[in-house]
Amino acid sequence: MSVIRMRRGTTVQWTASTLILKTGEYGLDETTGEIRRGDGLHVWTALPAENTINKLATLKDVNLSSLTDGQVIQWNAGSGKFVNATLSITSITGTTASSFTIDQDGTDPIQIKNNSGKFELRNSDDSDYADLTVKNLTVTGATTTINSTTLTVDDNVIVLNNNVTGAPTVGGGIEVERGTSTNASIYWDESADVWKAGLAGTEKEIAFTDHLHDDKYISIVGTPTAGNFPTLSAGGELVNSAYGPSSFIQVPVGGTQGDILFRNATGWTRLPASTIDGNVLISHGDAADPSWGEIDGGTPA
């Protein structure tokens, strides 16, 4: 039976040694378990390590060849030997604990926690949530709840109904929670193609300046003529009245205290106040204008 003996020494001894191992001669570092093979030219510190097996470990049937960076020793059941293999992790179980702590510098540790199936980031004493900064965040669930009291958004346009494709069928908007009072909202009514705002459930259409020129918002009754008046319909819309100016009481321009407003043959007009004290307003019958004048005592009956 052949016995292979190797030169041995501690790491300190080998580092200080000037011994040159012969070609094919092996040396063992008893501190680290490292083995190096001599080439007849170089001292220990200039030789490459053949392996780094701890001297306390016991391996049986080891077959290591063509080692490359990053490889590990792995048991091969087919050959019944330990062989060198590339590390490949297909699955890993980190811990069965409900949380574990990450501590960068010993001052602000955070916990990664599994709370009944929900992933949470908590502070060191689990009294509050920890901050989270990410580059891009995509949420694919059905519900996203934000409980922060201050929301800052750099984007200048917020898109609602972003998942709509093809012909639109539903509107969208913003609703304000008002506690015990009815909520308020502003939203786009897709069925009417208009913006509406007001108390939730009773929102009114928002009128824009160009709506005043659109017969969708001002109905023309009959044939409009110059001087027609807009009136408010029972439905709450401004409509073009079919009645001309003569159908309305028009207050003439000017006037002083004591003037009388009356209707003459062409329209409403003003009868200036009398300049004579004691005059009375005299009616002159049908188709005649009233005037100021004196009356006598008449003839006793």
Beta bridge partners of 270: 261
Per-residue pLDDT tens digits for 30-44: 888 888 888 899 999
Answer yes or no: is pLDDT of 234 > 90.
no
Average pLDDT estimate for 266-289: 86
The whole-number pLDDT of residue 265 equals 84
Report the distance separating Cα 4 and Cα 160, nearest Å. 79
The whole-number pLDDT of residue 213 equals 46
Average pLDDT estimate for 235-247: 56
Per-residue pLDDT tens digits for 3-19: 667 888 999 999 999 99
Burial class (CB in 10 A: 0-12, 13-18, 19+), 40: exposed
| pLDDT class of 211 with cuts at 50, 70, 90 | low
Answer yes or no: is pLDDT of 56 > 50.
no
Hey, CA dihedral for 255, 260, 264, 268, is it positive or negative? positive
Beta bridge partners of 293: 280
Where are the chain's structural domains?
Answer: 7-86, 98-134, 172-205, 209-246, 252-301
Global pTM reads 0.40
Percent of the chain, pLDDT > 70? 72
Q: What is the mean pLDDT of the chain?
A: 79
Q: Which residues contact 173 (CB under 8 A, 6 or more apart)?
A: 160, 185, 186, 187, 188
Report the distance separating Cα 63 and Cα 50, nearest Å. 13
81 or 166, which is more confident? 166
The whole-number pLDDT of residue 233 equals 61
Burial class (CB in 10 A: 0-12, 13-18, 19+), 46: exposed
The whole-number pLDDT of residue 255 equals 78
Burial class (CB in 10 A: 0-12, 13-18, 19+), 210: exposed
| pLDDT class of 87 with cuts at 50, 70, 90 | low
Burial class (CB in 10 A: 0-12, 13-18, 19+), 36: buried
| pLDDT class of 176 with cuts at 50, 70, 90 | very high
Answer yes or no: is pLDDT of 248 > 60.
no
Instruction: Tell me which H or E stretch contains 180.
Output: none
CA 272 to chain centre: 70
- Residue 277 is given by DSSP the state T
